[in-house]
Chains A and B, each alone.
Chain A
Amino acid sequence: MRIQERIIEGLLWLSAAITILVTAGIIWVLLSESLTFFSEVSIIDFLTDKQWTPLFADKHFGILPLVAGTMLTTAIAIAVALPIGLTIAIYLNTYAPAGFRATIKPMLEILASIPTVVYGFFALTVVTPFLQSFIPNLAGFNSLSAGMVMGIMIIPMISSLSEDAISAVPKSLREGAYGMGATKFQTAFGVLVPAASSGILVSIILAISRAVGETMLVAIAAGQQPRLTANPLVPIETITTYIVQVSLGDVPHGSLEYRTIFAAGITLFIFTFALNNISFWIRKKYQEKYD
């Protein structure tokens, strides 16, 4: 009996330890490879150079074009997902009959279960041609279409987490507003959304973090041309796409070109790590305390 307990305890400990070890391993590889990279390329060039051409003869190692590409697709995605997601959350919470809410919420989550490669495909072969019919100078690969489809992809994240946050606002506040003669609309926007703002903010940050790290969709639909631009109509390249491009390409292992993906990877990691920590911090610090 006692032996069995110990074995089980050991196994549980092992699985926890493996998770931590793997994470530590990943961070170690990222760090050590990037350190080698930064011993050859100055970190100042990396952060300030406006060109990213490590695979060309005239090599430049400025991460800004990739960061700009990532931020552009992310911004477009959030611009699509936030208004729609929040509207859905408020509609489901305040207006929809209970039975309708119970069916529609799981259906929305189906959106989240579609493989991202399908979304990429959809952006490239459906949304881009559609947009081209009224934006003639839209390139075949562009951040607009990729960003919009990514926005649709992350709607469930925002709507679901925001709805949870709004539902968690005590009934007494909602009744307080109704009791003052507030309409549903006034109650939702004047009382419920502000009271749930920390939860809604967390849902947005997690959605941003998801958009920043999204790979397949942008690799397929946004292009592979690192470009420092805010123009959504032209091909760009995101950090993630670059990593895919080099990983799949014929760049020799151990070369400087190869190590660029670790530098790009650690940049990405810093972004998502920071976002996740900010959301964690907000949740802890700003959650309204009701008893």
Chain B
Amino acid sequence: MSKKNQKLEARNLNAYYGSFHALKDINIAMEEKAVTAFIGPSGCGKSTFLRTLNRMNDYIDGFRVEGDILLDGRDIYTKDVRVDELRKQVGMVFQKPNPFPKTVFENVVYGLKIQGIKDKKTLNEIAETSLRKTALWEEVKDKLDKSALALSGGQQQRLCIARALAISPSVILMDEPTSALDPISTAKIEELLYELKEDYTIVIVTHNMQQAGRVSDQTAFFYMGELIEFAKTKTMFTSPKHERTQNYITGRFG
């Protein structure tokens, strides 16, 4: 594998919820067009870290960060960065499918519409492309004007991924995207990740060790707010450097 660019980087990152020190001195660089998995026991800070990457925690009272997060070498926490612009580049898929209570079509084109794109042809084209990328087109092409809430959980989650893809971000953050889904839907989404990393940088938080092993190129293990180990997934799963990592991935705790 050729050496890839570093797409996202955290330098000396600390994060706090009030007085609680949630992330301690995180240094990490994530490769472009690859899948990076964050693993670790509940409360270890992996989701918090993921949500600092698109500043989703900005709205939480008492949350603050110190240190830098660089996207393509530019700090995303400086004053001149507009969060809404940042999130157009760094899309997000959540743990529970959260389609808007609108039609399937309106969901996919939501991000385009709020950017002021009204041209029907453009919207139709992007909707179709995005739904095809998530292998949802064949399933929903006759239900585009039906409520998105009528789709199955797995379909809803793929719709949320399609919705994120529609505004062509370069990074997609996924916060345990399959934890609320059945095994078949999970497999579909994992397959999808494999294709998506051709074009996108993907960061995924997962509780599922096998999933991290299957889908990711790099894995980061968090514990108690610290980044314990970060390595190529193969390396980490075959010969972890730290005992804690080994204990966690072999299921001895967590």
Contacts and interface: CB of A to CB of B under 8 A. Distances in A.
Q: Which of B61, B87, B98, B163 has the most CB of A within 10 A?
A: B98
Contacts of B56: 175, 178-179
Nearest to A191: B100
A15 B86 CA distance: 61
B97 to A, nearest CB: 9
A105 to B, nearest CB: 16
B98 A172 contact: yes
B59 A178 contact: yes
Interface in A151-210: 170, 172-173, 175-183, 186, 190-191, 194-195
A182 B84 contact: yes
A45 interface: no
Contacts of B92: 175, 179
B91 A172 contact: no
Contacts of A98: 61
Interface size bracket, A side = 20 to 34
Contacts of A194: 101-102
Contacts of A249: none
B54 A179 contact: yes
B113 to A, nearest CB: 8
Contacts of B102: 194
A97 interface: yes
Interface residues of B, number: 27
Interface string B87-105: 1100110101011111000
B243 interface: no
Nearest to A182: B114
A176 B94 CA distance: 8
B126 interface: no
Contacts of B35: none
A181 B163 contact: no
Nearest to B93: A179
A49 interface: no
B80 interface: no
Contacts of B86: 181
B101 A288 contact: yes
Contacts of A190: 110, 114
Contact of B98 (A97, A175, A181, A288): A175
B123 interface: no
Provide the main secondary structure of the chain A interface.
Answer: helix
Contact of A181 (B94, B99, B114): B114
Nearest to A190: B114
A170 to B, nearest CB: 7
A196 to B, nearest CB: 10
Contacts of B88: 180-181
Interface string B141-171: 0000000000000000000100110010000
B85 interface: yes
B240 interface: no
B213 interface: no
Nearest to B160: A176
A186 B61 CA distance: 21
A195 B94 contact: no
B114 A179 contact: no
Give the 7 A-B CB pairs with smallest separation, nearest first. Answer: A179-B92, A181-B88, A172-B98, A181-B87, A180-B111, A176-B98, A181-B84
Interface of B: 54, 56, 59, 61, 83-88, 91-92, 94, 96, 98-102, 110-111, 114-115, 160, 163-164, 167
18 contacts: A173-B101, A175-B94, A175-B98, A176-B100, A177-B110, A178-B56, A179-B87, A180-B88, A180-B110, A181-B84, A181-B87, A181-B111, A183-B84, A183-B114, A190-B114, A194-B102, A195-B100, A195-B101
Given A172-B98, A180-B163, 17 more contacts: A172-B96, A175-B94, A175-B98, A176-B99, A176-B100, A178-B87, A180-B87, A180-B110, A180-B164, A181-B87, A181-B167, A182-B110, A182-B111, A190-B110, A191-B100, A194-B102, A195-B100
